[in-house]
Structure 1
Amino acid sequence: MKVYRIKVNGKAYEVEVELVENKEGNLTETSRRDDIVSNAIKSDKIEGNGEIVKAPMQGSILSIKVSKGNRVSKGDVLLILEAMKMENEILSPVSGVVSDIFVSEGKNVNNQDVLLVIS
């Protein structure tokens, strides 16, 4: 645990920060991906022709049935989301190619989090 002193509008505050998870990778890559997801959420599309698949509920990703670059048809199972001890199949809303995956197995997601994109 680290303690930092932060000044906001001339007033000093002490903040304790605990490292909860180490993340590997380049921060720039993470920031770029966050920007892509943020823009995708706003438009429900990526680069004008991508379909965003969002989590229909809060839960945990049990398994991912597709990989980046896979061709999928409308109705294909993309991943399994566990919510309230029930396994829910997340189906493809369109036919296309999986252009990006924003989750991994074991990750917890919130309702409306972006899971993947189909172009």
Structure 2
Amino acid sequence: MKVYKVKVNGKVYEVEVESVTESNATITTPSKAPVTEEKNTPVVSNGAGTDLKAPMAGTILDVKVKVGDSVNVGDVICILEAMKLENEVVADTAGVIRSIAVSKGDSVQNGQLLVVIG
């Protein structure tokens, strides 16, 4: 045993420590999986237009367009709530709204069809 003097908040203490032998312990940690971002890329559907799909799972709070509306790139199509945050889903192509597949209050999954822009 070894005796050490330790000073804590101005007071000196004597501490006895048993002898410690070194060991060659091996510590392994799992490597992190690579992170890949999923892009919301338009998918052309049967020549009828471009599908705009949900970029994440959530709830539709509002649909800002109607069938027949003209939209430009960047126009807000709907508001999607995910994890208590309101996210604007915007048009990634210009055109006319051909169909709307969701309504206010609908729950959607990642990749689910929202609207078709033609």
- Report how many residues are paired: 77
Residue segments in structure 2 that go unaligned for 5+ positions in a row: 1-41
Aligned pairs for 1:1-119 (under 5 A) are 44-48=43-47, 50-119=49-118
Per the normalisation by structure 2, the TM-score is: 0.62
The offset of 1:79, in angstroms, is 0.3
Amino acid at match of 1:82: E
Q: Distance in 1 between matches of 2:48 and 2:94?
A: 12
Q: Distance in 1 between matches of 2:66 and 2:48?
A: 19
Q: Distance in 2 between matches of 1:67 and 1:46?
A: 19
Q: Distance in 2 between matches of 1:44 and 1:92?
A: 13
The offset of 1:47, in angstroms, is 3.3
Deviations 1:73-98 (A, max 9, x none): 11000000000000000000011000
* Secondary structure at 2:104 match in 1: coil
Amino acid at match of 1:110: Q
The offset of 1:48, in angstroms, is 1.7
User: Which structure dedicates a bigger proportion of its chain to helix?
Assistant: 1
Per the normalisation by structure 1, the TM-score is: 0.62
What is the aligned-residue identity percentage? 47
